Chains A and B, each alone.
Chain A
Amino acid sequence: MSKGKFGIYGGQFIPETLMNAVNELETAYNHFKNDKQFNDELKYLLNEYAGRPSRLYFAKNATEKLGGAKIYLKREDLNHTGSHKINNVLGQTLLAKKMHKTRIIAETGAGQHGVAAATAAALFNMECEVFMGQKDIQRQALNVFRMQLLGAKVNFVKTGTKTLKDAVNQTMREWSSRIDDTFYVLGSAMGPYPYPEIVRDFQSIISKEIKEQLFEKESKLPSVVIACVGGGSNSIGAFYNFINDKKVKLIGCEAAGKGVDTPKTAATIARGRVGIFHGTKSYFCQTKNGQIAPAYSISAGLDYPGIGPEHAYLHETKRVEYISVTDKEAVESFEFLSKTEGIIPAIESAHAMYYAMQLAPKMSKDEIIVVCISGRGDKDVTMIADYKADYKDLQ
């Protein structure tokens, strides 16, 4: 029987070679997620090592400038390694250790998940190999050096579109060739069951904290929570504990790239259709022959032609609204947040911030928007400079 479905989405569409590995993972996860010692250890690591809880910061300057709803920023960029990715990686790597695995492998797009995996491997004294597309290696060179410094081997993926999609392919191939000692630390809320659930659970600490922190500051729920969506890990984390609070509007921002009506886009909900890929049934950008279409975004972390299966379900049931933000708009909000608040967000998170900038002025002053700043933008600074130079040339 098929397992791990969100409505019609999800499942385990993987080669037979990997089936026992995902079944073992499911058994181990179901055991350890209720294990007090495991949860105590994870909490210790998240707090003492990664620096949780992350701050919920009232962005006073941005709020005043936009003149509407109050804007709060969930500062996942302040976590150790600079993004939300560490939440899931510490959970999965601790699980790997409990399963007596000695080696972890991971895919990475922007490099944030790879850096988090390399960090956890160093901490737990495990071997680590990261797979990263050649194109992403060029645009995120800083993160490649970080991973290598942390002791990980970075494998350059030169097949296909040379981005996140192909990095996932290669990591799955690697896993199927070496299973016994190896744990695949998957970074996004996608892949075969139980990964979408594991990643969501480990990232759901984001919405748990938002709820508690906002209650302390404002004694109420937010009106809107906004997060960027590639595969969808920070967003599912930021949404999860609000799904049953029907009054809280949840908005996922996809990367439109050069525009949803151009082929240069990664906006899966806007442009994709239902398909089966990377172990799951969900929405994927596809060609007219059912091939997976190359995605494009300025942001390597959102440059993925699919979206996690739980997001597909939340879209279908209309619980979450998915909108798209172009490269140009993301760069605009990247600069806005840097200049207004002294916070340089990841270009991924800037997609979410842009929509907050559009929404806030239309809302009343007693309403609250929470934006998940999923990562910090140091990695993007040179790329944004290049983008601006190119853009100037065009004009």
Chain B
Amino acid sequence: MNRITEIFKNNKALITYLTAGDPDILKTEKYILAMAKNGADLIEIGIPFSDPVAEGETIQNAMKRALSKNINLDDIFGAAVNVRKKSDIPLVFMTYLNPMFFYGYDNFFRRCREVGIDGIIVPDMPFEEQEEIKCFTEKYAVTIVTLIAPTSKERISVLAKQAQGFVYLVSSLGVTGVRNKITTNIKYLVAEIKKVTDAAVAVGFGISNTSQVKEITKYADGIIIGSAVVKIIEQYKDNAAAKLADYTSEIKKAMHKSNL
């Protein structure tokens, strides 16, 4: 059916995140393609926001760097157009509500459709507030990715039932960022979600190394890596393409091994 669900079909999916405009928008295009060529199955593109309350320091700083260069939504849509000329990889925006609201929801999702953005992750929009954008995402066939957290408890069945694309299972309390240890019972949460939906479950927040990846892909259909990717970009700035390629293929290899 759509590009997002395809990636989970015969495969544990690797989803990687980067912040648009860090270090600049041309590099963002290049880094998306580098990860796409080396094993990433879906790319999550973060739209910078001045006050990202769900992000840890790594992504906060990346957004700050991007905003210091006056990146705007039209630049980001432009980058997506260029990526689409070279790749069919599914693309999902991660954005807070305000930049979309300001741009105009109809405009925003029409552009998503035009440039080939497949879905959207909105950290400050819980299920109860989906009405805010739902008529536009439906009109332009953009998938809203459902977030489920370790604190969701009895909400899990309600949230999972309406999931489209995939379920983004938040691995830990708190904000995004690399963690040494993930203490949540991922196996249990995935099972709870699977009771009510056939949608794939990808786990994110805190994942960075191959041993975490091997462990989590025992239960989950995919993993999402954000801050670890952003840290590579932070360190290597304009010259991160090769490092990102290496890192992506290393993680992807670990996922294959855990499948055997």
Contacts and interface: CB of A to CB of B under 8 A. Distances in A.
Interface of A: 1-3, 11-21, 159-160, 165-166, 169, 172-173, 176-179, 274-279, 284, 286-287, 289-292
A19 B155 contact: yes
B236 interface: no
B101 A275 contact: yes
Contacts of B15: none
A274 B175 CA distance: 26
Contacts of A176: 54, 173-175
Given A2-B128, A3-B128, A16 B170 contact: yes
Given A16-B148, A276-B97, A289 B72 contact: yes
Contact of A13 (B50, B103, B124, B152): B124
Interface of B: 49-51, 53-54, 56, 60, 67, 70, 72-73, 96-103, 123-129, 131-132, 147-153, 155, 159, 170, 173-175
A3 to B, nearest CB: 7
A292 B98 contact: yes
A325 to B, nearest CB: 26
Per CB-CB distance, the 5 closest pairs between chain A and chain B, nearest first, are: A290-B102, A177-B174, A291-B50, A17-B149, A276-B97
B149 A277 contact: no
B101 A276 contact: yes
B126 A12 contact: yes
B126 A15 contact: yes
Nearest to B47: A290
B151 A179 contact: yes
B196 to A, nearest CB: 16
Contact of A290 (B60, B99, B132, B150): B99
Given A13-B124, A15-B124, A16-B147, 18 more contacts: A2-B131, A13-B97, A13-B125, A15-B126, A15-B147, A16-B148, A17-B54, A19-B128, A19-B151, A20-B151, A20-B152, A172-B53, A177-B175, A276-B124, A277-B98, A289-B72, A289-B73, A290-B102
B50 A160 contact: yes
Contact of B51 (A13, A17, A165, A289): A165
A96 to B, nearest CB: 18
B204 to A, nearest CB: 12
Nearest to B170: A17
Contacts of B70: 289
B98 A290 contact: yes
A159 B53 CA distance: 12
A173 B53 contact: yes
Contacts of A178: 173-174
Contacts of B99: 289-291
Given A20-B155, A159-B60, A12 B128 contact: yes
Contact of A15 (B49, B73, B123): B123
A38 B147 CA distance: 36
Contacts of B101: 274-276, 290
A101 to B, nearest CB: 15
A7 B181 CA distance: 44
Contacts of A165: 51
Given A13-B129, A176-B175, A290 B103 contact: yes
A173 B51 contact: no
Contacts of A289: 70, 72-73, 99, 102
A19 B70 CA distance: 33
Contacts of B73: 289-290
B163 to A, nearest CB: 12
B152 A19 contact: yes
Contacts of A21: 151
A16 B53 CA distance: 12
A15 B49 CA distance: 15
B56 to A, nearest CB: 8
B146 to A, nearest CB: 9
Nearest to B205: A17
12 contacts: A12-B126, A13-B125, A16-B127, A19-B126, A20-B152, A165-B51, A172-B53, A274-B101, A276-B97, A289-B73, A290-B73, A290-B103
A381 B132 CA distance: 46
A218 B159 CA distance: 57
Given A160-B50, A173-B53, A277-B51, A15 B149 contact: yes
Contacts of A13: 97, 124-126, 129
Nearest to A22: B126
A16 B150 CA distance: 9
A178 B54 CA distance: 13
B174 A16 contact: no
A169 B60 CA distance: 11
Contacts of A177: 173-175
Nearest to A287: B50
Contacts of B67: 291
A184 to B, nearest CB: 12
Which one of A165, A279, A292 has the greatest number of beta carbons of chain B within 10 Å?
A: A292
B113 to A, nearest CB: 20
Contacts of A284: 98
A15 B56 CA distance: 14
A169 B51 contact: yes
